[in-house]
Chain A
Amino acid sequence: MLRNLPLWIVIISMAVSSCSPNTEAQAASALSTAYIENKGSDTIVNLALAWAERYQNDHPNVRISVTGGGSGTGLAALINGTVDIANASRQIKAEEVQAANENGIEPVEFIIARDAIAVIVNPANPVSMLTLRQISDIYSGVFNNWNQVGGEDRPIVRLSRETNSGTHVYFLETVLRLGEKENKTLFSTDTLLLPSSEGIIIEVRQNPNAIGYDGLGYVPVDLKKIAIAEAEGMPFYLPSIESVNDKTYPIARDLYMYTQGQPEGAVRDYLDWITSVDAQAIVAKLGFVPVR
Chain B
Amino acid sequence: MEKSLNFREFIITRLIKLCGYSAIVFVALIFIFLMKEGIPTFQEVEPGILFSARWYPIEDYFGILPLITGTIMVTLGAALFAIPLGIGAAIYISEISPRWMREILKPLVELLGGLPSVVLGFLGILILSPFLRGFLNLPTGLTALAGSMLLGGIAVPTIVSVAEDALDAVPRAYREGAWALGATRWQTIWRVTLPAASSGVLTAVMLGIGRAIGETMTVMMVTGNAPVLALSLSNLFSPVRTMTATIAAEMGEVANGSIHYHTLFFIGMVLFLISLAINITASSVVFRTKKRYERILS
Q: Which residues of A contact B (CB under 8 A)?
A: 69-70, 72-73, 76, 79-80, 95-96, 99, 154-157, 162-164, 169, 184, 186-187, 189-195, 199, 202-203, 206-207, 209-210
Min CB distance A207 to B, Å, is 6
A239 to B64, CA, bound (A): 38
- 12 additional A-B pairs beyond A194-B225, A203-B125, beta carbons within 8 Å, are A73-B252, A76-B254, A76-B256, A163-B250, A192-B226, A193-B227, A199-B125, A202-B126, A203-B140, A207-B133, A207-B141, A210-B140
Residues A189 and B130 in contact, CB atoms below 8 Å apart: no
B238 neighbours in A (Cβ, 8 Å)? 190
* B152 proximal to A (CB < 8 A): no
A157 to B143, CA, bound (A): 12
Given contacts A169-B58, A193-B241, contact A99 B255 (CB under 8 A): yes
A157 to B224, CA, bound (A): 10
A76 to B260, CA, bound (A): 14
A184 to B59, CA, bound (A): 9
Find the B residue at minimum CB distance from A164: B253
Within 8 A of A (CB), among B240-285: 241, 249-250, 252-256
Min CB distance A68 to B, Å, is 10
Residues A209 and B126 in contact, CB atoms below 8 Å apart: no
A203 neighbours in B (Cβ, 8 Å)? 125, 129, 140, 142
A187 to B59, CA, bound (A): 11
A169 neighbours in B (Cβ, 8 Å)? 58
**Interface SS of chain B:** loop
Q: How many residues of B contact A (CB 8 A)?
A: 35
Residues A191 and B140 in contact, CB atoms below 8 Å apart: no
Residues A189 and B226 in contact, CB atoms below 8 Å apart: yes
A141 to B241, CA, bound (A): 18
Residues A193 and B252 in contact, CB atoms below 8 Å apart: no
A199 to B125, CA, bound (A): 8
Min CB distance B291 to A, Å, is 47
Given contacts A155-B139, A163-B57, contact A192 B239 (CB under 8 A): yes
* B42 proximal to A (CB < 8 A): no
Top 9 A-B pairs, shortest CB-CB distance: A164-B253, A72-B253, A192-B224, A155-B139, A193-B225, A157-B140, A206-B130, A163-B58, A162-B249
B54 neighbours in A (Cβ, 8 Å)? 189
A194 to B142, CA, bound (A): 10
A272 to B225, CA, bound (A): 41
Within 8 A of A (CB), among B65-112: 66
Residue in contact with B225 in the complex, picked from A76, A80, A162, A206, CB distance below 8 Å: A162
Find the B residue at minimum CB distance from A206: B130
Residues A164 and B130 in contact, CB atoms below 8 Å apart: no
A190 to B138, CA, bound (A): 14
* B220 proximal to A (CB < 8 A): yes
Min CB distance A138 to B, Å, is 13
Interface string of B209-240 (1 = CB under 8 A from A): 00000000000110011111100000000110
A226 to B215, CA, bound (A): 37
Find the A residue at minimum CB distance from B125: A202
Given contacts A157-B140, A199-B125, A202-B126, contact A193 B226 (CB under 8 A): yes
Given contacts A79-B255, A189-B54, contact A164 B226 (CB under 8 A): no
Interface centre among B141, B228, B249, by most chain A C-beta atoms within 10 angstroms, is: B249
- Could you list some 30 contacts between A and B, CB below 8 A? A72-B252, A72-B254, A73-B253, A76-B252, A76-B253, A76-B256, A80-B256, A95-B255, A99-B255, A157-B139, A162-B249, A162-B250, A163-B56, A163-B57, A163-B249, A164-B253, A187-B56, A189-B54, A189-B226, A190-B226, A190-B228, A190-B239, A192-B140, A192-B225, A193-B227, A194-B142, A207-B130, A207-B133, A207-B141, A210-B140
Interface string of B148-184 (1 = CB under 8 A from A): 0000000000000000000000000000000000000
Residues A195 and B228 in contact, CB atoms below 8 Å apart: no
A256 to B146, CA, bound (A): 38
Find the B residue at minimum CB distance from A99: B255
A209 neighbours in B (Cβ, 8 Å)? 139-140
A157 neighbours in B (Cβ, 8 Å)? 139-140
Min CB distance A279 to B, Å, is 28
Find the A residue at minimum CB distance from B130: A206
Find the A residue at minimum CB distance from B229: A189
